[in-house]
Chain A
Amino acid sequence: MDILLLILIVPFVFGILMFLMPLNFKLLKNLHIFLSLIVSVVLLTAVGKVVDGGELHIFHQFIFLDSLGAIFLSLIAITGLLVNIYATTYMKWELEEGHITLKEVKNYFALSFIFTWTMALSVLCNNIAFMWAAIEATTLASVFLVAVKKDKKSTESGYKYIVLCSIGLAFALYATILLYSAANGNIDGEAMLYTNLLANAANLDPMALKLVFIFALIGFGTKAGLAPTHTWLPDVHAEGPAPTSALLSGVLLKCAMLGLIRYYAVVANGVGFDFVQTVMIISGTLTLFISAFFLIRQHNVKRMFAYHSVAHMGVIAFGLGVGGAIGLFAALFHCAAHSFTKALAFCSTGNIARIYGTKDMTKMGGMIRIAPITAVLFGIAICSLVGVPGFAIFVSEFLIFKAAAIGGQYILMGIFAVALAIIFIADFSHFFLATFGKVEGEVVHNSEMKLSENLPLLGLAILIVAFGVWQFDSFTFLLDESVKSIMK
């Protein structure tokens, strides 16, 4: 069976299978880990085939996997697997503390496969309308991963999530229809296919393309968390369970960003790079400063990381705005670096909330003595988030500086440096508050988690350091090919 067809079938079938399982936690847990592993192997096999032999496609190119998609598919596979394994531990704690029922755990596990399926579909769709439908489906599939409980806060976060993302994505659908209409009859082949649109972008109406990009930016930008339509993100990420926040921030935001990057490529090749770069610089700068302002005021550890997600989407937008081969390379690398880092950050908040019984950092302190491994993992996430050398995010942020310097964009370098400095100060003050000094509040769980419980977090930490100090040839190859495909 074709590997792409397998991706379209396997996660969905596993989701249905999980729904049908009996209410036995041990069985559900083991099955969830085992099936997640299979899904990741399938996804990574497809990525490997792209590395070895180039683009894959089925159904008359309706479904395809190019190097750009392969980068994001590998994030779904790797980050998704580690977070799903951590989810079994987190749900066990929630179950033991009576915060959740076994039926809700089963639904959570089942929905996470459906969610993975929709994300993979959004990456694989060459048909732009289907890509939109898949990205909208990611919202629908993940609403009840966020609103797991039925209390006020959970319901409110679910409401904000679906309503705000749906409004935003309506603009993206309009962009899709406009793009198709502008292309239909003016290009060779099916005008709904991204590959055809990209190949014939120069033949499209420039005014239509500019309107398309503005609509796509509002639409996919809302879903990706770009300001000023980011407002759903802090509420949703802060309220959902830690593994959900990790999946949303680590993987889902990137899938929405992929949608935007595909429109970026088509419009840039149609009207020139200056237009899209200017728009992305404005969007990125606005996002960076708004998030930095809110970040510095946060004491809730999950809200802090949520604003970080907004900030780093701003970094990606900034990288796309600086442009050039290095700027694009940096933006794509940042998608991966941020995926691993934010997954670790949110998963570590699961440990932290267990230790202190609260997400308020002013009531923490002394974590290094209570749970040293968790404190170190938390520290690794923070170090990477602020761009300390030796951690993954440093690489992409450094490359954005380099791209700006090569292009002589010194004002942009200054703006970027100021925004990162604010984020740096905010983060380290929060980190010291929670990790060192004396305990300010109550300690509910006065010991480190078991090694087996911390294993997925350790895996993410290793990835963050590895991507910070090592160049992986296959991954670099995918990045280079993607940049070439965008710049044509």
Chain B
Amino acid sequence: MENIINIVTVLMMATSFAVFSLRQYHHSIKAYALQTLLLVIVFLALYFKYGSHELLIWAITAFVIKVVFVPLYLLRLIKKIGVVVEDEPVGGFFISPVIALSFSLAVSMMLYKVFIHFSLFQEILPLFAASFIFMMGIFGFVLRNSFLKQILAYCLFENGIHLSLALMAYTSHELVEVGILTDAIFAVIIMSVLAKRFYASYDSLDTSKAINLRG
């Protein structure tokens, strides 16, 4: 079972890089859906390994909300706005992923060594992946100018945190999972409403154009 979890978490790292780097929005959204499906597989694998029923509930709720609802909602949003390709990110399309990748790897190298001291699941690779995905999400916010890519970055680091929770503290109460997921859904919905407004105001999703309030 450890091998399955190792392989799946490596795939999750690859998908986080894809969500970050792919220029076409619908490809990025589908990569996110795939990543969340992999997350659900990790939950199920941990459930079969440890028999903790909380993990089964997490798997079901994550599937419904994050594999199905959020991607469909975001696909509908890009269709409604009529955007296809992402705006130029900070440093350009090539440099931006390189920066994110190298810094995320460096930070994760430090973090997993702390995590392993108290994690319930004692495998290096999944713990490394959890912090890597989180950091890719943070860099998505910092380096990508597109509002929609920033929403996906939020979803990414939320997946990183979710994976950390499953690996390090899968015995926590189901209500915790519900609370965090509820926030995530509302955050995505509210950010999407603002993205629509943003597009209506600026005729673009490029947030580097939002400079009216500086001073």
Residues of A within 8 A of B (CB): 62, 127, 129-130, 132-133, 136-137, 140, 143-144, 147, 150-153, 155-160, 162-163, 166-167, 170, 173-174, 177-178, 180-182, 184, 186, 192, 205, 207-208, 211, 234-235, 238-239, 298, 300, 303
B69 interfacial contact with A, CB 8 Å: no
Alpha-carbon distance between A470 and B137 when the two chains are bound, in angstroms: 50
Contacts of B190 on A, CB cut-off 8 Å? 140, 143-144, 162
B150: chain A residues within 8 A (beta carbon): 163
**Contact B202–A152 (Cβ < 8 Å):** yes
B187–A152 CB distance below 8 A? no
Most buried by B among A127, A174, A238: A174
- Are A192 and B176 also in contact (CB < 8 A) when A156-B212, A184-B120, A207-B114 are? yes
Q: Which residues of chain B have C-beta atoms less than 8 A from A192's C-beta?
A: 172-173, 176
B197 contacts A162, CB within 8 Å?
no
**Which residues of A have CB within 8 Å of B94?**
none
CB <8 Å contact, A133 and B198? no
Contacts of A238 in B (CB 8 A): 213
Q: Determine the residue in chain A with the shortest Cβ distance to B142.
A: A167
Q: Contacts A170-B138, A238-B213 known; A155 to B201 CB distance under 8 Å?
A: yes
Q: Are A166 and B114 in contact (CB under 8 A)?
A: no
Residues of A within 8 A of B183 (CB): 133, 136-137, 140
A369 CA / B185 CA spacing, docked (Å): 52
Task: Report B114-134 CB contacts with A as 1/0, cut-off 8 Å.
Answer: 110111100000000000001
11 residue pairs A–B, Cβ–Cβ below 8 Å: A127-B173, A129-B172, A129-B179, A155-B197, A159-B198, A174-B164, A180-B172, A181-B120, A208-B114, A208-B118, A303-B215
Contact B191 A163 (CB under 8 A): yes
Q: Which residues of B contact A156 (CB under 8 A)?
A: 198, 201, 210, 212-213
Query: Cα distance A134–B101 when bound, in Å?
Result: 32
Q: How far is the CA of A239 from the CA of B134 in the complex (A)?
A: 31
Q: How many residues of B contact A (CB 8 A)?
A: 45
Q: Is the CB of A147 within 8 A of B213?
A: no
Instruction: Give the CA-CA distance A136 to B187 in the complex, in Å.
Output: 9
In this complex, what residue of A is CB-closest to B118?
A182
- Looking at chain B's contact residues, the main secondary structure is helix
CB neighbours (8 Å) of B187 from chain A are: 136, 140, 162, 166
Could you tell me the distance between the alpha carbons of A170 and B131 in the complex, rounded to whole angstroms?
A: 12
Complex: A147 Cα to B213 Cα, angstroms: 13
* Contact of A181 with B169 in the complex, beta carbons under 8 Å: yes
Report how far A462 CA is from B83 CA in the complex, Å: 54
Q: Scan residues 186-210 of chain B and give those whose CB is less than 8 A from a CB of chain A.
A: 186-187, 190-191, 194, 197-198, 200-202, 207, 210
Given known contacts A170-B137, A177-B161, A151 and B201 CB-to-CB distance under 8 angstroms: yes
Apart from A127-B176, A155-B197, 14 more pairs, CB < 8 Å: A129-B180, A133-B179, A153-B213, A156-B201, A159-B198, A170-B154, A170-B157, A178-B115, A181-B120, A184-B169, A192-B172, A205-B118, A207-B117, A208-B117
The distance in angstroms between the C-alpha atoms of A162 and B193, with both chains bound, is 12
Report chain B residues within 8 Å CB of A157. 213
B36-61 interface bits toward A, Cβ cutoff 8 Å, 1 = contact, 0 = none: 00000000000000000000000000
Instruction: Tell me if B194 and A158 are in contact (CB < 8 A).
Output: yes
Query: Which residues of the other chain, A, contact B134 by a CB distance below 8 angstroms?
Result: 170, 174
Shortest B132–chain A CB gap in Å is 13
B158 within 8 A of A: yes
* B191 close to A162 (CB less than 8 A): yes
State whether B176 touches A130 (Cβ < 8 A).
yes
Q: Which of B169, B180, B182, B186 contacts A180 (CB 8 A)?
A: B169
Q: State the Cβ distance, B100 to closest chain A Cβ, in Å.
A: 14
Contact residues in B for A166 (Cβ distance below 8 Å) = 154, 187, 191
Chain A residues positioned under 8 Å from B182 (CB to CB): 133
Closest to B147 in A: A159
> Provided the pairs A181-B168, A238-B213 are in contact, do residues A167 and B179 lie with their beta carbons within 8 angstroms?
no
Q: How far is the CA of A163 from the CA of B175 in the complex (A)?
A: 25
Residue on A with the closest CB to B158?
A: A170
Take A140-B186, A170-B137, A174-B161 as given contacts and tell me if A160 and B119 are in contact as well, using a CB distance cutoff of 8 Å: no
Nearest opposing residue in chain B for A151, CB measure: B201
CB of A147 within 8 A of CB of B172, answer no
Which B residues between 55 and 73 are near A, CB-CB below 8 angstroms?
Answer: none
Binary CB contact string for chain B from 142 to 181 against chain A (1 if under 8 A, 0 otherwise): 0000010010001001100100110011011101100110
Known A155-B201, A208-B118: A177·B213 in contact at CB below 8 Å: no
A178 touching B168, Cβ below 8 Å? yes
Closest partner residue, chain A, to B200 (CB atom): A150
Complex contact B186–A159 (CB within 8 A): no
Chain A residue, CB-CB nearest to B210: A156
Closest to B134 in A: A174
